[in-house]
Chains A and B, each alone.
Chain A
Amino acid sequence: MQIKTFLGAMASTAALSTGAYAQTEIQWWHAHSGRLGELVDEIASGFNDTQSEYVVVPSHKGNYSETLNAGIAAFRAGEQPHLLQVFEVGTATMMAAQGATKPVYAMMEESGAEWDPDAYIGAVKGYYTTTDGEMLSMPFNSSTPVLWVNRDAFEAAGLDPDMDLSTWQQVGEALDALKQAGSTCPLTTAWQSWIHLENLSAYHNVPFATQENGFAGLDTELALNGPVQVAHIEAMGQWARDGKFIYNGRRNEGGANFRAGECALFTESSAGYAGIKSEAEFDFDVRPLPYWDGIDGAPQNTIIGGASLWVMEGHDDAEYEGVAQFLNFLSSPEVQAKWHQDTGYLPVTVAAGELTREQGFYEANPGTDIAVIQMTANEPTANSKGLRLGSFDQIRGIIDEELEAVWAGDKDAQTALDSAVERGNQLLRRFQQANQ
């Protein structure tokens, strides 16, 4: 009986796959699991329903690093997908791989699709565009860090939950009061390197690395040990030693503490929205990422995190036409607006943002537009359009290690950041050597 069922299942699978074979398949490898994975599937089936020539097949390949590895291994074996989702820190790796990837602008031109690169939000587009203005990959999910506030915790500490928290000086005062009132976790963070060094640098308009943060050449060197960064990490280190900043881990481990109501303040991606909204049993608030008062040019704009879609080389022209159609569908205001509202990721096109506003989403969900405003408030400068560094995933690992030394009180901020620069530069030189 069981064998029969199994054979039956096999037969029907075979029938289905031959049925689909008449259409051109477009493989899309991505790193979204859980609810986000379902939403990705919805987008694909939405596209598949609009036409009958192509079928987009999304496959989950693990986390961002694993997906990138899967794509690289597949390319070496000649089995690469059409579309590969690569996180923002993998951008330099993909860019250097000329011959493995097909720039999006070129593919769009060749396939004759109607396409306007200016439709995309500048701060998002800039991250994936060369200094000559050529867009290399398609922005998909982008977020930016914001400050999450547990209003109940503020009230419990006798603070006004509506108090101004625009600057770190004001946050510092709030932390003093929270600590004094007995809070066990006044402040925690996710993604420390991304928020407290990469975004900190952009937000205060100081370089994170030389050569326009790596945009202008492979011979870039880290510059994250400047006075602004050192002062910030020193302050955070002091808060850590005083029990005002609680470190929970390198990724978003701190999210569990915030959502459970233990932490009063939390610096995390705007895409933390879905999780916080569904789990938090307290009143919460979104605020712009704080900046240090008294620093020239702050607040500039924050930079994005997240991922873009890279088109891989080695497929037929007919298939690329399908890819172009799908990317256009993906960037349409309706699809983007829904994705933005469901996930807390930024709308990657201006039109999607406007549509969301027209639909009344921001009024119904106060604070959800803060990330968009914070990113688009100023025209990005050379210091704030993004980062393009080789081996960046690993450099972040080094930064994590050095920051942990500061939080643990083993090193002072200057020593730790100097060491991060020195170690990171070694990796940059190796990357340069491998890709020259």
Chain B
Amino acid sequence: MLPILLLLPQIVITAVFFFYPAGQAVWQSLFIPDPFGLKSQFVGLGNFEYLLGDPYYRASFVTTAIFSGLVTLVSMGMALYLALLADRLIKGAGTYRTLLIWPYAVAPAVAGVLWLFMFNTRVGVVSWYLGLLGYDWNHVLNEGEAMGLVVAASSWGRVSYNFLFFLAGLQAIPRSVIEAAAIDGAHFWTRFRTIVFPLLSPTTFFLLVVNVVYAFFETFGVIHTITSGGPQQATTILVYKVYKDGFVGQDLGGSAAQSVILLFVVGLLTIVQFKFIERRVHY
């Protein structure tokens, strides 16, 4: 009895904040309701058929894959690089660490506005300097630049979070192992490749899972403030399309169906990660 009692708060929270809304989404995805909830038509899997038959929706999967891949790669790569540098610091380590963690405190929407301001085609500092170099920055029309900008803005705050974990992971590696390798004549790069990185793999794996979920779900604010999904549909990731169809288009059935698909995609991704990548993790 006691174990169940102790589990109860967690179960209740999961039920109220996850199972109930997720169930609602599944139920709604079978209907085409009018926005005011006055009438509703049962369409079975009609919403799913409509979505999967829409080439723009299918293209959004590719956009999401590119976006999430880049955000994960950039934010984890940068964080690992910075953590390696910070790990070797002798003086002022605390200051550097604090400064590097700082951006994590900035909300995605605020980060989006900051980056937009720097890259604004008219008043942006960065675009102005790029102009001096002869490069005409215009993320309002150029799809590649728009994608680059939202990836940079989304990764920026995330680097701090990843940095924190990588640094902790690095410091948990016993000095003696590294020193022994150094005495054996292993250079920094060899030590990193054969000792540090494998020992860091639990941290890396954890961050991989967390960052992919972040890129999928929590980057809405950045996309909304910087590009609103444009130009054309270059930065319309799946989550943004859920918002656009549901809250701009008032197509609640189609939007619910998209949430259900998204739920499956993330579930699938997590299974893949645990089944295939976790095998290579040394605990």
Contacts and interface: CB of A to CB of B under 8 A. Distances in A.
B183 interface: no
A394 B244 contact: yes
B141 interface: yes
Interface in A236-285: 247-250, 253, 256-257, 260, 262
Contacts of B56: 423
A408 interface: yes
B121 interface: yes
Contacts of A397: 229, 244, 248
Interface stretch (B27-35, B92-100, B187-195): B27-35
A260 B123 CA distance: 10
Secondary structure dominating the interface of A: helix
Given A72-B36, A393-B248, A427-B249, A260 B122 contact: yes
B245 A247 contact: no
B5 to A, nearest CB: 34
Nearest to A251: B228
Interface residues of A, number: 39
Interface stretch (B10-18, B230-238, B274-282): B230-238
B4 interface: no
Interface string A73-107: 00110000000000000000100111110000000
A257 B54 contact: no
Contacts of A423: 56
A331 to B, nearest CB: 27
Contacts, number: 85
A248 B41 contact: no
B232 A405 contact: yes
B230 A404 contact: yes
A69 interface: yes
Contacts of B248: 65, 393-394, 397
Interface of B: 32-38, 41, 50, 54, 56, 121-123, 140-143, 228-233, 244-245, 247-251, 253-254
Given A260-B122, A262-B122, A404-B230, 10 more contacts: A65-B248, A93-B35, A99-B36, A100-B36, A248-B140, A250-B230, A393-B248, A408-B232, A430-B254, A434-B253
19 contacts: A65-B248, A76-B37, A97-B35, A99-B38, A250-B230, A260-B122, A391-B250, A391-B251, A394-B244, A394-B245, A394-B249, A401-B232, A404-B230, A405-B232, A408-B141, A410-B232, A430-B32, A434-B251, A435-B34
